[in-house]
A = this chain, B = another copy of it.
Amino acid sequence: LADAHVVVIATPVRAAPRLLRWLADAAPDRAILTDVGSTKRSILAAAIRTGIAHRFVGGHPMAGHHEAGWRAGRQALFRGVTVWLCDGGHVSQAVRMEVEALWQSVGGEPRWIDAHQHDRLVAWSSHLPQLVASALGRTLGRKGIGRRRLGPGGRDVTRLAGSDADVWTDILLDNADLVAPALEAMAAELAGLIHLVRDGDEAGLRQALADARRWAEVHATDPGDAADVG
């Protein structure tokens, strides 16, 4: 550690602030500290409180899947992947470029974002899908329907249900204030679908499915969606 140039924290998000405080002393003063956690407000606040915001950059590569641990590693994991980067406004341009270069060296595409903005975006784009998959898995489990009864599509929808419970408990509690509204929006959407199905509302049901399809078909490289979620 004494010779470290960059130190990357890769722990569950609620353990990271404590580790960061320890690294503030243990790592060389010149070392850049960064992380790969799924939430960014708490770790950035810890960096500011610890007085190391000038050499801390928060990072979050949008890679990975439901598997965890060494076995889940693979070549080209970060290739073409958006890597969100946040700082507390106290970081020099040189440090920013250093962290960008680190991610670019493994094929990632760094993009700067405000920490609150980031946490709101992932509450919807990542934490909500995780909870939806888990809720569906648990619903089917309660009904006694095994995963092998699902077709290929249903298996896709529930793949994330296999995610690590400890890692995700941490993420969801750390981001609870922003995750709850996303969950509530999903619940409202489901409630609407229940009415459409119960009422046999053909036009409404077709509209709902067509809306979802239009959303799904927007090409991955199209512009038009933004990171700034209101």
Contact = CB atoms under 8 A, between A and B. Distances in A.
Interface of A: 62-66, 121, 124-126, 128-154, 156-166, 168-169, 172-173, 176, 179-180, 182-187, 189-191, 193-194, 197-198, 200, 202, 205-206, 208-222, 224-227, 229-230
A194 B190 CA distance: 14
Contacts of A148: 218-222, 225
A200 B176 contact: yes
A132 B136 contact: yes
A193 B131 contact: yes
Q: What's the number of copies of this chain in the assembled complex?
A: 2
A14 to B, nearest CB: 10
Given A136-B132, A169-B206, A183-B197, A126 B147 contact: no
A179 B154 CA distance: 15
Contacts of A179: 197
Contact of A147 (B160, B166, B189, B218): B218
For the complex of A and B, the 8 pairs showing the least CB-CB separation, nearest first, are A146-B225, A162-B216, A141-B215, A137-B212, A165-B209, A134-B212, A129-B154, A161-B216
A200 B180 CA distance: 10
Nearest to A220: B148
A148 B176 CA distance: 24
B65 A145 contact: no
B146 A224 contact: yes
Contacts of A222: 146, 148
A212 B151 contact: no
29 contacts: A64-B152, A66-B153, A121-B145, A124-B145, A125-B140, A125-B150, A126-B154, A128-B140, A129-B158, A130-B153, A134-B193, A135-B212, A136-B186, A137-B212, A137-B215, A138-B189, A139-B185, A143-B185, A146-B215, A148-B220, A157-B160, A161-B212, A162-B213, A162-B217, A169-B206, A172-B205, A173-B202, A176-B200, A183-B197
Nearest to A148: B220
Nearest to A204: B169
